[in-house]
Amino acid sequence: MKVPASTKSVMVCQNLPRGKRGRWLSWERDFDFLPGQIVGVTDDPNRPPRWYSLASGNKDSWASILFTPVDSGELSPILSRLVPGDRIWITPPQGSFLDKKKQAVWVATGTGVAPFLAMARSGFAGTRVLVQGARYLEDLYFREEWQKRLGKNYIACCTREQGVFDGRVTRYLESQKWPMDTHFFLCGSSEMVVDARDLLISQGIPFSQIVAEVYF
Does residue number 171 form part of the binding site for ligand FAD (CB under 6 A)? Answer: no
Shortest Å distance, C-beta 49 to ligand FAD:
9
- The pairing of beta strand 183-188 with beta strand 104-109: parallel
- The pairing of beta strand 50-53 with beta strand 154-158: unpaired
Binding to ligand FAD (CB under 6 A) within 40-79 occurs at 50-53, 65-68, 70, 72-76
User: Nearer to ligand FAD by C-beta: 99 or 182?
Assistant: 99
User: Nearer to ligand FAD by C-beta: 73 or 92?
Assistant: 73
In angstroms, the Cα distances linking 22 to 16, 80, 82, 93, 141 are 8, 9, 13, 22, 8
Does residue number 124 form part of the binding site for ligand FAD (CB under 6 A)? Answer: no
CA-CA distance, 179 to 194, in Å (whole number)? Answer: 21
User: Nearer to ligand FAD by C-beta: 70 or 203?
Assistant: 70
Residues that bind ligand FAD (rule: CB under 6 A) add up to a total of: 20
Shortest Å distance, C-beta 107 to ligand FAD:
15
Shortest Å distance, C-beta 68 to ligand FAD:
5
Residues 146 and 122 sit within 8 Å (Cβ to Cβ) = no
CA-CA distance, 62 to 14, in Å (whole number)? Answer: 9
- Region label for 163, one of left (φ > 0), alpha (ψ between -120 and 50) or beta (otherwise): left
Does residue number 26 form part of the binding site for ligand FAD (CB under 6 A)? Answer: no
Does residue number 120 form part of the binding site for ligand FAD (CB under 6 A)? Answer: no
CA-CA distance, 168 to 156, in Å (whole number)? Answer: 10
| Residues engaged in binding ligand FAD (CB under 6 A) | 38, 50-53, 65-68, 70, 72-76, 111, 114, 213, 215-216
